[in-house]
Structure 1
Amino acid sequence: MFDGFETRRIATSGAEIHLRIGGDGPPLILLHGYPQTHLIWHRIAPALAERFTVVCPDLRGCGDSSKPPGGGDHSAYSKRALARDVVEVMETLGFVRFAAAGHDRGGRVLHRLALDHPQRLIRAAVLDIAPTRAMYQATDQAFATAYFHWFFLIQPYDLPERMIGADPDGWLQTCLDRWGRTPGAFDPEAVAEYKRCFREPAAIHATCEDYRAAATIDLEHDAADENRLVECPLLALWGGQGLVGRTYDVPALWRVAAERVEGGPLPGGHFLPEEAPEETLAALSGFFGSGAS
Structure 2
Amino acid sequence: MHYVHAGQGPESLLLLHGTPKTSYYWYKLFPLLTQHFHVIAPDLRGFGDTDKPPTTDGYDSATNSQDVSELMTLLNIDKFHVHGEDRGADFAYALAATCRDRVKSLSFCEMAVSGFGLEETSYWTEENLTAQYRQKGIWCWHLGFFSIPHIPEMLIQGHEREFWEMFMKQECYNPNAIEHAALDHWVACSMQPGGLRGILETYRAGFKNAANHRALLEAGGKLTVRTMTIEAPEFFGPIVEQSISRVVERVERSEIFEECGHSLALEKPERLAKCLREFMLGVD
Give the alignment's TM-score, normalised by structure 2.
Answer: 0.89
- Whether 2:144 is the aligned partner of 1:154: answer no
Q: Structure 1: any 5+ residue segments left out of the alignment?
A: 1-16
Identify which of 211, 215, 221 aligns with 2:212. Answer: 221
* Match of residue 107 from structure 1: 89
Question: Mapping of 1:194-209 within 5 angstroms?
Answer: 194-209=186-201
Q: Which amino acid aligns with 1:266?
A: F
Once residues 249 and 188 of structure 1 are traced to their aligned partners in structure 2, the CA distance between those partners, rounded to angstroms, is 30
Aligned length: 267
In 1, are the aligned partners of 2:13 and 2:80 still within 8 Å (CA)?
A: yes
In 2, are the aligned partners of 1:251 and 1:264 still within 8 Å (CA)?
A: no
For residues 88-110 of structure 1, the C-alpha deviation after alignment (integer angstroms, 9 at most, x for no partner) is 11111110111110111110110
In 1, are the aligned partners of 2:82 and 2:106 still within 8 Å (CA)?
A: yes
- Whether 2:23 is the aligned partner of 1:51: answer no
Identify which of 111, 117, 122 aligns with 2:99. Answer: 117
Question: Mapping of 1:22-41 within 5 angstroms?
Answer: 22-25=6-9, 26-41=11-26
Cα RMSD (Å): 1.8
In 2, are the aligned partners of 1:230 and 1:259 still within 8 Å (CA)?
A: yes
Give the alignment's TM-score, normalised by structure 1.
Answer: 0.86
Once residues 129 and 59 of structure 2 are traced to their aligned partners in structure 1, the CA distance between those partners, rounded to angstroms, is 23
Structure 1 residue 53: Cα displacement? 0.4
* Match of residue 135 from structure 2: none
Q: Structure 2: any 5+ residue segments left out of the alignment?
A: 131-138
Using the TM superposition, name which of 82-91 and 175-184 deviates more. 175-184
SS in 2 for 1:257: coil
Question: Mapping of 1:53-202 within 5 angstroms?
Answer: 53-71=38-56, 74=57, 76-133=58-115, 134-137=117-120, 139-141=123-125, 142-143=127-128, 146-156=139-149, 158-202=150-194
Structure 1 residue 189: Cα displacement? 1.7
Q: Which amino acid aligns with 2:142?
A: H
* Match of residue 265 from structure 1: 256
Structure 1 residue 68: Cα displacement? 0.7
In 1, are the aligned partners of 2:32 and 2:270 still within 8 Å (CA)?
A: no
SS in 1 for 2:2: strand
* Match of residue 233 from structure 1: 226
In 2, are the aligned partners of 1:144 and 1:151 still within 8 Å (CA)?
A: no
In 2, are the aligned partners of 1:70 and 1:206 still within 8 Å (CA)?
A: no
Identify which of 241, 244, 253 aligns with 1:254. Answer: 244
